[in-house]
Amino acid sequence: MLLRLPRLSGTNRSVKFVTAVPLLIGMLVLVGSWQWQNRQQKALVRWRDKALSCESLATTILSLRDQPRLVKDRVVDSHTLAGYIERAARRVGMSQNHIRSIRPEHPRRLKDSPYVETATKVRLTEVPIADIAKLIWNLQEESPGVAIAELRIWVESPASLTWEAELDLVALAYSPLSE
């Protein structure tokens, strides 16, 4: 048997339409707020994960600060350190014209300790960021007693794919004070 619905008059239709519109708007608002809350929850989880990762990295950095560093048993002279830099640059495939300067400083004693520090500033020009990272890695492989004390990088123009960099290298040596 077929069920027939009564034909609605114009006013009945408009009453049902007026009733259905707020319900539809309410449902859309509920769905929209549920989606917004879901996005906020996912963003909160991502930020929490990033914070935990940063906390883990900070803990690692602090623990590495307390570990003893490998030092040379003799003071590294400036020519040796410059040689380390040039060999590491060749291994990376960096041409000599990318090394603007290598400025070694005189070795200096660290206060009244038995340690002597030799610092060298290296200025690189028009180098891809990947080559800078490879150079640093190769320097540390070449000479474990040499550390990167500071690294400054900048770009000359926003359209450039190459970077300018300045590295401060430090070689630490154990050289007891003569009695």
Q: In the prediction, which pLDDT does 71 show?
A: 57
Q: Which of 33-47, 49-63, 73-87, 155-169 has the least mean pLDDT? A: 73-87
Q: What is the pLDDT of residue 176?
A: 77
- Distance from C-alpha of 74 to C-alpha of 97, rounded to nearest angstrom: 31
Which pLDDT score is estimated for 179? 47
pLDDT > 70 in the chain, percent: 81
**Architecture of the domain made up of 78-174:** 2-Layer Sandwich (3.30)
Burial label, 169 (beta-carbon count in 10 A; 0-12, 13-18, 19+): buried
Average pLDDT, the chain: 82
Cβ proximity of 167 and 136 under 8 Å = yes
Give the span between the Cα atoms of 166 and 101, in whole angstroms. 9
Closest Cα partner for 150 from 177, 169, 131? 169
Contacts of 99 (CB under 8 A, 6+ apart): 85, 86, 89, 122, 123, 124
**pLDDT score of 40 more than 90:** yes
**Reduced to 3 states, what is the DSSP secondary structure of residue 142?**
helix
pLDDT of 68: 60
Query: d(Cα 38, Cα 44) in Å, to the nearest integer?
Result: 10
Local confidence band at 103 (pLDDT 50, 70, 90 cut-offs): very high
Share of the chain above pLDDT 90, in %: 33
CA-wise closest residue to 93 among 139, 131, 147: 131
Structure tokens at 62: 């602090």
> Is 105 a residue whose pLDDT tops 50?
yes
- Answer whether residue 129 shows pLDDT above 80: yes
